[in-house]
Amino acid sequence: MGPTKNLSAVLMKKGDLQLVDRPIPEPGNGEVQIKIHSVGICGSDVHYWTNGEIGDFVVKAPMVLGHESCGTVSKVGEGVDHLKVGDRVAIEPAVPCRRCKYCKGGRYNLCKDIACCATPPYDGSLARYYVHAADFCYKLPDNVSEEEGALLEPLSVGIHACRRAGVSLGSVVLICGAGPIGLVNLLTAKSMGASKVLMTDIDAGRLAVAKTLGADHTVLVDTKDAKTLAEKIENLLGDAPNITIECSGAPPSIALAITATSSGGCVVLVGLGPSVVELPVVDAAVREVDIRGIFRYVNCYPTALAMVASGTVNVKPLVTHRFTLEQALQAFETTRTGADGAIKVMIKCEEN
Ligand code: NAD
Ligand code: 572
Ligand code: ZN
């Protein structure tokens, strides 16, 4: 066992998040040890904390949370030649087997043996030190901050969704749900050339944020009647959206996504809610509205980094709150309640 002094935010069991001093992990072959700087809290971290599970993934043993992370390389394992001690890196949290047909075919996010930070049984990176596969760490240029490095993770979700949706010059895009994931989709869709983006939410505060980040229109969802909402959306956009990116997971919103999308268009399901949902599938079929899903992202980190480094996408305004690692519980509570307009809560993991 290595030396301790690795304060870590550990989910002991459902509802029981503790700060625990753990051993500092040593990097193995092809790995780097990272002194963690910033970790963003994701809705899934909060969900594991409050529910102890997401779908088939059940927390059965203590697990470190956190998968939106960035830090500085503090040790380099054998066989690593593209990183050195002192390099600041963003961490792509899900590491696949690299050998299966999905990995070899370039769709490594679909690998069945993928190991993702803070998805049971794998520990996350909300700690002082963390070890990760070096080829899933991306060196940051000097003009990219550690917070931006951590934000490459949700931004990658937006890039993958917009790629799967086929967003391009002149796309008219509807984004359902204005949480952090809806907002990164907004930033990405705009940077990929969407001419108009309309966002929906049930929360007026989140829609106000969407406006400040560049949404052309917003619609407050105050009825379950999809036809009424679809008409409102079409009137505001001047045309029905040819692309809809659903980022709430709420069943009525998924139904609206199909109803509101123009014939021949595409709906991408990002939000994940109940596993079985009643949807207007015949309407989708006869109007040739394609329905696609996404699972995290694949080959998106380099693009996300290039977009941020070049100033094409500004993710900084997403960060609304900052806490120290010692304040992790407060940080999780802030994300859970959305208190004080919280969008992205960052935890600073370096010792003061
Ligand atoms: P979030 O809960 O912060 O945001 C969801 C937003 O949807 C909230 O602002 C909420 O008010 C809004 N909403 C709820 N009901 C609505 C409705 N009927 N119409 C419109 N908006 C509604 O969550 P997030 O962090 O932004 O993540 C969004 C979703 O994306 C989650 O379901 C998450 O699990 C999922 N996700 C999926 C992937 C993937 O790989 N498929 C990756 C990351 C996140
Ligand atoms: O940033 C990655 C990420 N992925 C999320 C949610 C939040 N953040 N997903 C939703 C939950 N699934 S899952 O398949 N699972 C728990 C592995 O239900 C993964 C993608
Ligand atoms: Zn996440």
* pLDDT exceeds 90 at position 2: no
pLDDT-based confidence at residue 217 (cuts at 50, 70, 90): very high
Q: Which residue's CA is the closest to the ligand 2 atom numbered 1? A: 154
Q: Which residue's CA is the closest to the ligand 1 atom numbered 42? A: 296
Query: What pLDDT digit, counting tens, does each position of 46-89 carry?
Result: 999 999 999 999 999 999 999 999 999 999 999 999 999 999 99
Query: What pLDDT digit, counting tens, does each position of 253-292 carry?
Result: 999 999 999 999 999 999 999 999 999 999 999 999 999 9
Q: Is 233 in the pocket of ligand 2 (CB under 6 A)?
A: no
* Paired sense of beta strands 319-324 and 290-293, if any: unpaired
Cα(11)–Cα(26) distance, integer angstroms: 22
How many C-alpha atoms does 245 have within 13 Å on its Cβ side? 33
Distance 257 CA to ligand 3 centre (A): 22
Residue ranges of domains in the chain: 6-139+315-348, 156-293
- Give the per-residue pLDDT at 1: 55
Distance 238 CA to ligand 2 centre (A): 34
68 CA: nearest ligand 2 atom: 1
Q: Which residue's CA is the closest to the ligand 1 atom numbered 9? A: 179
Please state the pTM of the whole predicted model: 0.99
Residue 117, CA distances (Å) to 199, 238, 325 in order = 30, 43, 17
Q: Which residue's CA is the closest to the ligand 2 atom numbered 16? A: 54
CATH class of 6-139+315-348: alpha beta
The per-residue DSSP string of 55-77 comes to TTEE--S-EE---EEEEEEEEE-
Q: Write down the architecture of domain 156-293 according to CATH.
A: 3-Layer(aba) Sandwich (3.40)
Distance 46 CA to ligand 3 centre (A): 10
Q: Which residue's CA is the closest to the ligand 1 atom numbered 35? A: 271
Cα(208)–Cα(336) distance, integer angstroms: 20
Distance 176 CA to ligand 1 centre (A): 8
User: Is 234:226 a contact under the CB 8 Å cutoff?
Assistant: no
**Which ligand places an atom closest to the C-alpha of 183?**
1
**Which ligand places an atom closest to the C-alpha of 44?**
2
Q: Is 187 in the pocket of ligand 1 (CB under 6 A)?
A: no
Q: Is 165 in the pocket of ligand 1 (CB under 6 A)?
A: no
Q: Is 314 in the pocket of ligand 2 (CB under 6 A)?
A: no
Distance 307 CA to ligand 3 centre (A): 19
- Give the per-residue pLDDT at 123: 98
Q: Is 122 in the pocket of ligand 2 (CB under 6 A)?
A: no
Cα(336)–Cα(66) distance, integer angstroms: 14
Amino acid in position 198: L
Query: What pLDDT digit, counting tens, does each position of 136-158 carry?
Result: 999 999 999 999 999 999 999 99
3-state DSSP assignment of residue 295? coil
User: Is 147:71 a contact under the CB 8 Å cutoff?
Assistant: no
Which pair of structure tokens corresponds to residue 98? 């690299």
